[in-house]
Amino acid sequence: MSVHLLPVPGIPAIRPDDDLGRILAHAINESRMGVKPGDVLVVCQKIVSKAEGRVVALDSVSPSPFALSWAETHEKDARVVELVLRETKRIVRMERGNLIVETGPGWVCANAGIDQSNAVEEGTVTLLPLDCDASAARLRAELRGHLGVDLAVVITDTFGRPWREGQVEFALGVAGLAPIEDLRGNADLYGRELGVTLIATADHVASAAGLLMGKSDGIPAVLVRGLAAKEPAADQPRGGRALLRPPENDLFR
C-beta of 141: minimal distance to its own copies in Å? 25
Decide if residue 183 touches its own copies (CB under 8 A).
yes
Tell me which residue of 170, 142, 168 sits closest to 45, measured CA to CA. Answer: 170
Separation of alpha carbons 59 and 92, rounded Å: 27
* Binder among 59, 75, 165, 235 for its own copies (CB under 8 A): 165
Nearer CB in complex with its own copies: 98/145: 98
Is residue 158 part of the contact set for its own copies (CB under 8 A)? yes
* Closest approach of its own copies to the CB of residue 204, in Å: 5
Q: Is 62 in the site for its own copies (CB under 8 A)?
A: no
Q: How far is residue 137's CA from residue 27's CA, in Å, rounded to a whole number? A: 19
Cα torsion 140, 229, 26, 115: sign: positive
Kindly report the number of other CB atoms within 10 A of residue 29's CB atom.
13
The verdict on 30 binding its own copies (CB under 8 A) reads no
Q: How far is the CB of 140 from its own copies (least distance, A)?
A: 20
Give burial (CB, 10 Å; 0-12/13-18/19+) of 144: middle
Site map 77..116 versus its own copies, x via CB under 8 A: ----------------x-xx-x-x-------x------xx
Examine residue 162 and tell whether it contacts its own copies (CB under 8 A). Answer: yes
Q: Which residues between 191 and 210 bind its own copies (CB under 8 A)?
A: 192-196, 198-201, 203-208, 210
Q: Please identify which residue in 53, 118, 144, 146 interacts with its own copies, judged by CB under 8 A.
A: 118
Number of residues that bind its own copies (CB under 8 A): 72
| 174 interacts with its own copies by CB under 8 A | no
153 binding its own copies? (CB under 8 A):
no
The SS3 of residue 208 is helix
Taking CB under 8 A as the rule, does residue 117 contact its own copies? yes
The correct pick among 62, 189, 234, 235 for binding its own copies (CB under 8 A) is: 189
Residue 41 bridge partners (DSSP): 153, 223
* 161 is a contact residue toward its own copies (CB under 8 A): yes
Q: Is 177 helix (H, G, I), strand (E, B) or coil?
A: coil
From 49, 50, 41, select the one nearest 8 (Cα to Cα).
41
Distances (CA, A) of 173 to 7, 82, 139, 213, 228: 19, 25, 11, 17, 18
Query: Between residues 189 and 234, which has the closer beta carbon with respect to its own copies?
Result: 189
